[in-house]
Amino acid sequence: MGQPWTAEDETQAEYQRVKRILADLLGRVSERLYLCHSELAVNGQEQLGPLLPLVHACISVVNEPVGSGK
């Protein structure tokens, strides 16, 4: 039958869910997507979630000089 659900399975499922949401969002964009990010949540706690690494990746791509070869 099936295998027990592990923490790694949960992490992978969350990653796939975020990936599907982003792919759907980007599929609806015709020209641009403006990304707004805050370090703190509404309750004042630091936001640490699956989107944070993607936000940091976007920031580095946006700040990368044109023609840098990356």
| Per-residue pLDDT tens over the stretch 20-35 | 888 888 888 888 878 7
The pLDDT confidence band at residue 54, using thresholds 50, 70 and 90, is confident
Residue of 70, 54, 64 whose CA lies nearest to 18? 54
Percentage of the chain modeled with pLDDT above 70: 79
- Alpha carbon dihedral 68, 63, 15, 25, in 10-degree steps, equals -110
- For residue 25, report the phi and psi dihedrals to the nearest 5 degrees: -60, -50
Q: What is the pLDDT of residue 7?
A: 94
Compare 14 and 55 and report the one with higher pLDDT: 14
